[in-house]
Amino acid sequence: MTDATASAPAAGASWLGKLEGKVSWILLGVAGLLLPLLDDSYIGVIAQRAYIYWVLSAGLNLVVGYAGQIAIGWVSMLTLGAYTTAALTAGTATEPWHPYLALIAGGVVGAVAGLVVGLPALRLRTFYFAMTTLGFATIVTQVALAWKSVTGGGVGTPGPVFPWPFDPGWGFYYFCFILAALATWMTANIASSRFGRALVAIRDAEVAAEASGIAKPKLLMAVFLFAGALGGVAGGLFSSLQSYITPDAFTFEISVLFFIAILIGGRGSILGPALGTIILTALPEFAAPLVQWSTFLYAALLLVIVLVIPGGIADLLDYKNRRPLEQHREIAPRQELLGRLLDKSDAKHTIALKDIALHFGGVRAIDGLDLEIRSGEVQGLIGPNGSGKTTTLNVISGYYAPKSGTLMLDGRSLPFGQPHLRARYRIARTFQTPRLVGAASVLENVMIGGTVHGHASFAEATLALPRNRRDEKLLHEAAMQALATVGLENLAGVRADRLQHSELRFMEIARALMLRPAFLMLDEPAAGLSPEEIRRLGSLIKAISREGTGVLLVEHHADLIFDICDHVTVLNLGKVLAAGTPNEIRSHREVVSAYLGA
Ligand code: ADP
Ligand code: MG
């Protein structure tokens, strides 16, 4: 999410800043509008082809660039849309349809197909999913070959001719231009909404996305549907541009073009892949002898880009993130702001683990654990490496189902196996190794934490309707507040992968606070922090608990634990070695000899 369309508003972004981000799009738009003045029909056809490809790539960009799904055979959507539109217009299977209606039908067929092709992505890992998309493309082509009565088989079928106002020539040119612009607008809307951020979170930090309440299957299905629909519409336009279609018009090379255009454009950008599509469409045309070599050319280009600018075109354009950051930055949390972020309530809640046991093969990671986390208190959990602390957190966050024992919230048992449901109970967490979306800004990373608070649907986000704009405004305000609370507001607009380790730890806390958590679980938050930072972290955690949140603190820094905990549990080999107040633990003979080592 590095380009300006994907909303990276730094604190106090002015209209000038917003305009600056839109300049590239305005230039592209003006060039597209004025191109017919050249009155060169050859260039016109190349431009139409680029627009049509972009209609498809724009949707595919959400699948590949944002969600990180390797959908390499997306040409199948083009094929399906093209044949649906052409066959319905020609009336080979039904009464002839009006071309515009047939085009809509092409989009609908594409949407359904997108969903069908996308389903395996929920189960299959990257490479296997890539193969299923390729397999589907082959099947579609084979059906087109075999179903002669409708598709004309190998002989082919004429494409539709759209009547006024988008009749062949510059009329059709503007049709393609408008649809490309529309596709850009819609994908940019999705990308800059909580759905776009959630997609990138699934791609780069799936566990953190789940902990923020993001339901991967539902989101991916919506995106596959949308990308399929755009692919189908592109296919309908393509069949008209070709004027006559045969199955061999839908080559593997085109599919590769779509895919590579997105990669050289830059993952998580919209402008980059748009430019990538234009470049890859035009390149072989202007170097006619190279047409034979186009696949080779694409591959070579991809190689060069990956080696020289791994972030793609978008990275080249992202000059803001090349400005050096201040060297000696200080994290100064302002816990007095917590009150506005968390809804303080006097309601008392308790998470209770009773006799929890969990084994990994022969390893008894947890072996009969009792633990309570109560509103307004800090519960410490300490123990040597491998004693089962992180596993305990993973059980509470629903990631692992224990072999035996119960996990209750206020006397009701919590379900396992669907960690994204924990956000509904306002149980938030951070991770032992910070999980972040490196390419997104710090602000966007924090906004991901509030995903469940949005009300607008995916469709409302696509069309930037008022409810979505309200969601965004509220999320933006809350995230700035959370950043100010942990002392990172000056870094809001910076790419998260440029932060120092200690800053990432505080950023994760800000993200967790976005849930307005009733319970907050911190996995070694002080690891890698300076003594002064640990002191500030300690008072921040203490303040969070005073607002009524129940905190579970896993730590190695004994000072921090004894300073701020109300109650401490010591684990050893998955068993409770001791439990009590900090004073009791400090003087517990076994703990001192086995763990504190004094
Ligand atoms: P801690 O956080 O206290 O350092 P963990 O909870 O990470 O300890 O690990 C407890 C034990 O469980 C260790 O022996 C670790 O190797 C094992 N363990 C943790 N997660 C897994 C896993 N996913 N598969 C197999 N073993 C695991
Ligand atoms: Mg651990």
Sequence-ordered list of residues with C-beta below 8 angstroms from that of 43, at least 6 positions apart, any chain: 35
Q: Is the peptide bond before 333 cis (omega within 30 degrees of 0)?
A: no
Index of the ligand 1 atom closest to the CA of residue 366? 10
- What pLDDT is stored for residue 324 in this prediction? 87
Q: Is 383 in the pocket of ligand 1 (CB under 6 A)?
A: yes
Q: Which residues pair with 363 in a beta bridge?
A: 360
Mean pLDDT value across residues 358-367: 93
Looking at the whole model, is its pTM more than 0.85?
A: yes
Structure-model confidence comparison of residues 116 and 283, the more confident one: 116
- What pLDDT is stored for residue 372 in this prediction? 96
Index of the ligand 1 atom closest to the CA of residue 385? 4
Mean pLDDT value across residues 387-408: 95
Nearest-angstrom CA–CA distance, 212 and 379: 22
Index of the ligand 1 atom closest to the CA of residue 391? 6
Q: Read off the pLDDT of residues 427-463 as tens digits, 9 standing for 90 and up.
A: 999 999 999 999 999 999 999 999 999 999 999 999 9
- What pLDDT is stored for residue 1 in this prediction? 43
Q: How far is the CA of 359 from the centre of ligand 1 (A)?
A: 9
Q: Which of 207, 363, 577 to mutate to test the pocket of ligand 1 (most atoms within 8 A of CB)?
A: 363
Nearest-angstrom CA–CA distance, 255 and 233: 16
- What pLDDT is stored for residue 585 in this prediction? 93
**Residue nearest (by alpha carbon) to ligand 1 atom 15:** 386
Answer whether residue 5 shows pLDDT above 60: no
Q: How far is the CA of 15 from the centre of ligand 1 (A)?
A: 50
3-state secondary structure of 149: helix
CA distances from 513 to 12, 175, 351, 421 (A): 22, 47, 18, 17
- pLDDT > 70 fraction of the chain, expressed in percent and rounded: 96
Index of the ligand 1 atom closest to the CA of residue 554? 2
Mean pLDDT value across residues 6-29: 68
Please, what is the average pLDDT of the chain? 91
- What pLDDT is stored for residue 14 in this prediction? 61
- What pLDDT is stored for residue 209 in this prediction? 96
Sequence-ordered list of residues with C-beta below 8 angstroms from that of 504, at least 6 positions apart, any chain: 434, 436, 496
**Residue nearest (by alpha carbon) to ligand 1 atom 12:** 365
Of 21-25, 133-137, 336-340, 420-424, the range with the lowest mean pLDDT is 21-25
- What pLDDT is stored for residue 520 in this prediction? 98
Task: Please report which confidence band the pLDDT of residue 122 belongs to, taking 50, 70 and 90 as the band edges.
Answer: confident
- Token pair listed for 157: 């079928």
Q: How far is the CA of 392 from the centre of ligand 1 (A)?
A: 10
Answer whether residue 18 shows pLDDT above 80: no
Q: Read off the pLDDT of residues 158-197 as tens digits, 9 standing for 90 and up.
A: 999 999 899 888 999 999 999 999 999 999 999 999 999 9
Ligand sitting nearest the alpha carbon of 394: 1
Nearest-angstrom CA–CA distance, 201 and 221: 16
Q: How far is the CA of 351 from the centre of ligand 2 (A)?
A: 20
Index of the ligand 1 atom closest to the CA of residue 392? 6
Task: Please report which confidence band the pLDDT of residue 416 belongs to, taking 50, 70 and 90 as the band edges.
Answer: very high
Q: Which of 391, 393, 552 to mutate to test the pocket of ligand 1 (most atoms within 8 A of CB)?
A: 391
Answer whether residue 598 shows pLDDT above 60: no
- What pLDDT is stored for residue 302 in this prediction? 78
Task: Please report which confidence band the pLDDT of residue 305 belongs to, taking 50, 70 and 90 as the band edges.
Answer: confident
Mean pLDDT value across residues 110-121: 94
394 backbone φψ class: left, alpha, beta (φ>0; ψ -120 to 50) = alpha
3-state secondary structure of 351: strand
**Residue nearest (by alpha carbon) to ligand 1 atom 13:** 386
Q: How far is the CA of 505 from the centre of ligand 1 (A)?
A: 21
Q: Is 192 in the pocket of ligand 1 (CB under 6 A)?
A: no
Give the 3-state secondary structure percentages of the chain, helix then strand then coil, rounded to 5.
Answer: 60, 10, 30
What is the phi/psi pair of residue 528, to 5°? 85, 5
Dihedral angle computed from the Cα positions of residues 159, 160, 161 and 163, in that order, rounded to the nearest 10 degrees: -170
On whether the CB atoms of residues 426 and 519 are closer than 8 A, the answer is yes
Q: Is 385 in the pocket of ligand 1 (CB under 6 A)?
A: yes
- What pLDDT is stored for residue 288 in this prediction? 67
- What pLDDT is stored for residue 7 in this prediction? 41
Q: How far is the CA of 384 from the centre of ligand 2 (A)?
A: 9
Task: Please report which confidence band the pLDDT of residue 594 belongs to, taking 50, 70 and 90 as the band edges.
Answer: confident
Residue carrying the six token digits 């684990």: 571
Sequence-ordered list of residues with C-beta below 8 angstroms from that of 226, at least 6 positions apart, any chain: 59, 62, 111, 114, 186, 190, 458, 462
Task: Please report which confidence band the pLDDT of residue 8 belongs to, taking 50, 70 and 90 as the band edges.
Answer: very low
Sequence-ordered list of residues with C-beta below 8 angstroms from that of 474, at least 6 positions apart, any chain: 453
Q: Is 389 in the pocket of ligand 1 (CB under 6 A)?
A: yes
Distance of CA 476 to the CA centre of its chain: 17
Task: Please report which confidence band the pLDDT of residue 11 belongs to, taking 50, 70 and 90 as the band edges.
Answer: very low
- What pLDDT is stored for residue 96 in this prediction? 94
Q: Over the Cα atoms of the chain, what is R_g?
A: 28
3-state secondary structure of 372: strand
Q: How far is the CA of 574 from the centre of ligand 1 (A)?
A: 9
Q: Is 396 in the pocket of ligand 1 (CB under 6 A)?
A: no
- pLDDT > 90 fraction of the chain, expressed in percent and rounded: 76
